[in-house]
Amino acid sequence: MTARTYGTRLPGLPPEPLGGKLIVVEGADGSGRTTEVARLKEWLEIQGHAVVDTGLRRSTLVSEEIDRAKQGHTLGATTMALLYAADFGDQLENKIVPALCAGSTVLADRYIYTLMARAIVRGASRDWARRLYGFAFVPDLVVFLDARPEILLHRAIGKYGSLDYWESGMDLSLSRDLFESFFLYQARLADEFGWMATEYGFHHVDANRRPDEVDADVRALVEPLYRPAAGGRGARARTGAGSATPDGRAASG
């Protein structure tokens, strides 16, 4: 991929284009995202591609702080947004960049879009959130798994036996009722993803279906990224995640 960020120069980035590919799978909890990431990883590896998978909040740098903050519920919205951004930055620079440099495919189970949506729903301005994550790379492909709230609800309950406090947005005090809060929160997130879809070039996949049907659609989107076609990698990358921001420019200058 060409090392292009969403507008902000990332200090210390290698100047040459990165060899690997960055594929992002986004979608709400219960959209089948994690299942799809596992399937896609398996498929890509069988094709002979080295795959590194990454998700949110898996970095060693601040995960403890995030856990502690969640237990205490004490940090403000801006503070939490910045803490998540630090965590993402750590993963980007210490995991994603090295993997891309090594020519691997990085498969991201959620990316800045979820982080931005969560921050915005909690009171951050859209503009602030977009600029905050301006240092993130523009992926080669963003797949968005679209599922109806009722489907999300059934899968969430099926998976955990109940609804999760955070995934129901209980910290937002939308409703004291967990069930109702879940719907209100997911609707707000969906709204934010809707705003981002065109801007960031999401490829929607209907996730109300069976996993193998979803997987087939995702493969159809991923497959062309590896085609050694005329026009090559660069051309593909541009049709991938699209020209996201008007001021998006090459990070390596």
Residue ranges in contact with another protein by CB under 8 A:
8-12, 60-62, 65, 75-76, 78-79, 82-83, 85-86, 89-90, 92-94, 128, 131-132, 134-135
Count of residues for the chain?
253
Which is nearer to another protein, 52 or 82 (by Cβ)?
82
**Residues 132, 185: Cα–Cα separation, whole Å:** 23
Which is nearer to another protein, 82 or 172 (by Cβ)?
82
**And the tokens for 160?**
């955990």
**Residues 134, 66: Cα–Cα separation, whole Å:** 22
Which is nearer to another protein, 80 or 107 (by Cβ)?
80
Residue 86 beta carbon to another protein: minimum distance, rounded to whole angstroms: 4
Which is nearer to another protein, 44 or 97 (by Cβ)?
97
The DSSP secondary structure of 9-61, one letter per residue, reads --TT--SSPPSSEEEEEEE-TTSSHHHHHHHHHHHHHHTT--EEEEESS--TT
Residue 6 beta carbon to another protein: minimum distance, rounded to whole angstroms: 11
Residue 108 beta carbon to another protein: minimum distance, rounded to whole angstroms: 17
Which is nearer to another protein, 79 or 198 (by Cβ)?
79
Give the DSSP H/E element, type plus range, for residue 241. helix 232-241
Which is nearer to another protein, 125 or 243 (by Cβ)?
125
**Residues 104, 99: Cα–Cα separation, whole Å:** 5
**Residues 163, 115: Cα–Cα separation, whole Å:** 20
Residue 84 beta carbon to another protein: minimum distance, rounded to whole angstroms: 9
CA distance between the termini of the chain: 15
Residue 250 beta carbon to another protein: minimum distance, rounded to whole angstroms: 13
**Residues 33, 69: Cα–Cα separation, whole Å:** 26
Residue 101 beta carbon to another protein: minimum distance, rounded to whole angstroms: 14
